Amino acid sequence: MEAVIIGVGLHPFGRFPGKSAMDMAADAVRAALDDAGVSWPRVQAGFVGSLEVYNPDAIVGRLGLTGVPLRGVFNGCATAGTALSMAARVIETGEHDLTIAIGMDKHPRGAFAADPSVAGLPSWYGQTGMFLTTHFFGMKINRYMHDHGITHETLAHVAAKNFRNASANDKAWRRTPLSVEEILASPVLNYPLRQFMYCGPDEGAAAVVLCRADQAHKYAGRPVRVRACALRSRRIGAFEVQSPSLPAGEQAPSPTVDASREAYEIAGIGPQEVAVAQLQDTDAGSEIIHMAENGLCKDGEQERMIADGETEIGGRLPVNTDGGLIGNGEPIGASGLRQVHELVLQLRGTAGARQVPGEPAVGYAHLYGAPGVSAVTILSR
């Protein structure tokens, strides 16, 4: 039995001094339940993800102690992909009729700092200043620009688009539009990536309520179909984050490519049918690379597409219509459910000032992060 999304809820992303991640998540869950027109005791199972909250399943204490099985999940930046995938899967298998996916986080300011041992790496890798995931993003886009003729200006255009889209989203964090010139004038953090080309860790929460497709008529609003969820980890030969060495002359595609192909196959939907996409834009370069890795264009084609405005709202392939990670920041556990929230609004036609014209029918969400894991979700009306 297919799973459909009947409710979405989003706590704004940003900085909320004095408000806990769990309180933000409780707000998001209440919003998602209201959106679906169901009460918490009706929820039969759930999956919840967070980096900073050790026991995110303790959220039951904010919602009502109904005995519901609520399982914690974690896959780094792809956490929310796993939460949604599992919430859909237990409906598809017939185990449950009504489920929820929840994500929450509240990160301190600045770059993520951790001991390399959390990723199974030796101490010297951190001591000598090599254990920063941002190095990977700088190195991958530098090579990609060299191989495929992407320019610094195109990186800046991507960031400018995402800030512009965020300015039309009252739940986004970075809502001040920045010009291409301002972005190119910001300091380099990891060549060729500059300060205003990066997303930052922040705070926020999101929730998604799902039910069996044949029961969707009982609930408020237009259901959105979950057509595919896929998650893949890195293969040997892929150019990947947190790798002290990589094999030479043995190349494999990114896990994004693997997850994307699997998702298209499960959905029976091709890249040409995608009407709106949310792609992991940890930085502007990542969005550009992920357009090709998700089959949405050929390598190098982004230079012309972005110059022609094809990824803008109103373009042929709108990308990160709510501002993406660059505009919203990244509370890791919630980030992917923020993408799903946006796609549901777009497919319902209720995205307001940032609505993609032409009644989009297929939405695509993509996550990527350490230690080389990608999740793809395909939704349709």
Partner 1 sequence: MSETRQVPVADGLFTWPSDQPRLIGARCAACGLVGFPAGPACQRCGGTEFTETLLPDRGTLWTFTTQDFRPPSPPYDGSDTAGTFRPYALGYVELDGQVMVEARLTEPDPAWLAIGQPMRLAIVPYSVLADGTEVMTFAFEPAVTREEA
In the complex, the residues that contact partner 1 under the rule CB under 8 A are: 110-116, 122-124, 126-132, 135, 138-140, 142-143, 146, 187-193, 236, 243-249
Nearer to partner 1, 1 or 111 (CB): 111
**Residue 358 backbone class (left: φ over 0; alpha: ψ -120 to 50; beta: rest):** left
Nearer to partner 1, 151 or 350 (CB): 151
Pair 59, 314: CB distance under 8 Å: no
Q: Could you give the 3-state DSSP secondary structure of residue 265?
A: helix
Nearer to partner 1, 194 or 212 (CB): 194
Q: How far is the CB of 118 from partner 1 (least distance, A)?
A: 10
Q: How far is the CB of 223 from partner 1 (least distance, A)?
A: 43
Q: How far is the CB of 148 from partner 1 (least distance, A)?
A: 12
Nearer to partner 1, 247 or 309 (CB): 247
Q: Residue 237: which residues within 8 A CB-CB, separation 6 or more?
A: 246, 247, 250, 251, 252
**Residue 81 backbone class (left: φ over 0; alpha: ψ -120 to 50; beta: rest):** alpha
Q: Could you give the 3-state DSSP secondary structure of residue 1?
A: coil
Size of the chain, expressed as the number of residues it contains? 381
Q: What is the dihedral of CA 42, 60, 341, 345, to 10 degrees?
A: 40
Alpha carbon 25 to chain centroid distance?
A: 17
Q: How far is the CB of 249 from partner 1 (least distance, A)?
A: 5
Q: How far is the CB of 275 from partner 1 (least distance, A)?
A: 34
Alpha carbon 144 to chain centroid distance?
A: 22
Q: How far is the CB of 188 from partner 1 (least distance, A)?
A: 5
**Residue 203 backbone class (left: φ over 0; alpha: ψ -120 to 50; beta: rest):** beta
Residue 268 neighbours by CB distance under 10 Å: 10
Q: How far is the CB of 192 from partner 1 (least distance, A)?
A: 8
Nearer to partner 1, 192 or 300 (CB): 192
**Facing residues of 232 across strands?**
374
Nearer to partner 1, 111 or 220 (CB): 111
**Facing residues of 225 across strands?**
4, 380
**Facing residues of 100 across strands?**
46, 209
Nearer to partner 1, 176 or 245 (CB): 245
Q: How far is the CB of 138 from partner 1 (least distance, A)?
A: 3
Q: How far is the CB of 183 from partner 1 (least distance, A)?
A: 16
Nearer to partner 1, 12 or 285 (CB): 285
Pair 127, 73: CB distance under 8 Å: no
Nearer to partner 1, 42 or 135 (CB): 135
Residue 245 CA to residue 140 CA, distance in Å, equals: 14
Residue position matching structure tokens 């946006």: 342
Element (H, E) at 197: none
Residue 157 neighbours by CB distance under 10 Å: 22
